[in-house]
Amino acid sequence: MSKNRFAGSIPAEIGSLQSLQSLDLSWNYLMGGIASELGQLQRLEVLDISHNMLSGLIPTSFSRLQSLTKVDVSYNMLEGPIPDIKAFREAPFEAIHNNKNLCGNATGLEACAALMKNKNMHKKGLKVVIFTVIPLLGCLLGLIVGFFIFFQSRRKKRLMETPQIDVSIRWCPDGDLRYVDIIEATEEFNSRYCIGTGGYGIVYKVVLPSEQVLAVKKFHQTEVEMTSLKAFRSEIDVLMGIRHRNIVKLYGFCSHPKHSFLVYEFVERGSLRKVLNDEEQAVKMDWDKRLNLIKGVANALSYMHHDCSPPIIHRDISSNNVLLDSEYEAHVSDFGTARLLMPDSSNWTSFAGTFGYTAPVLSLP
């Protein structure tokens, strides 16, 4: 029955064939343990179960196979002691080799006592390694986690404490904003969140834990600009009160020696200048959209000049400061140079705005 691709375990029923003298099951796909019932084959003379995938111990019942003269159990995964009968003791090494861990009184095999000793020593050594390495790894992991928690808590504490040092913060009353959330969402204003750069600062896209998307304009920290910001604080409340479809909503303002910024609503397409410089988007800007854009900017300026009290003068209307949403609707933004026109105020003598977009007379000395 050799070389038949038999699979599964050896049937125990073979043990009932009392007159069987030769059993050759070699070169098959038999697996599992050897059935102990094979030890009942008292007349068996030849047994060949080589080149299979049999595993486990050779049954002790094989010690009753006194008629056995030739045996081959090679190329399996058998282990443990071989039966103490003549056929196994006198079997050539080729008939018992290539197994997992056979031992006993046969050519080429290690004595079972020595094998058990080596196995116990191996297990003992393995236990020592396990009980030594695992606690060390646990301690190392604990230290790493501890350091991570420590530095995270220090970072969060530092962020929480930062606004207490010479800081001015104003948020829109209906907004749910926190200084810490903005700093963490931008990883302290990491450059990968930058979506634009201007003369007054850098604009970052911020996604808060609430999934609200904002645009945060962080000012450059020059001495002149910081002085301008201090003068700008008194006008923030008025600017945050603006409600107009063509004006970017200002949610808040923070002035701090390390981070000073304005928080705006996020407008999808970015500045008009960016859209016009993009050939694909510029083509979509047909005359209807461009006329609607001009009307939107005019409506925004009219609202600031005539409907706000006191009136608000933007002073820097340019293609960089007009943002477009997904429907190409205009939104006036960037009030960094805006001023309130108080009834008793005089004209400004200092220039503010973008050259090329302001009245020429304003840039004259």
Q: Are 63 and 87 in contact (CB under 8 A)?
A: no
d(CA 330, CA 325): 7
Q: Which of 48, 72, 316, 334 does the annotation list as catalytic?
A: 316
In a 3-state reduction of DSSP, which class is residue 264? strand
Report d(CA 78, CA 365) in Å as an integer: 101
Is 48 noted as a catalytic residue in this protein?
no
Q: Give the tokens for residue 5.
A: 């691709």
Q: Amino acid letter at 241?
A: G
What 8-state DSSP symbol labels residue 4?
A: S
Strand partners, 301: none
CB within 8 Å of 10: residues ≥ 6 apart: 25, 30, 32, 34, 35, 38, 49, 54
Instruction: Give the 3-state secondary structure of residue 271.
Output: strand
Residue matched to tokens 């604080």:
233
> DSSP code of 314?
-
Question: Residues marked as binding for ATP?
Answer: 218
Residues identified as active-site: 316
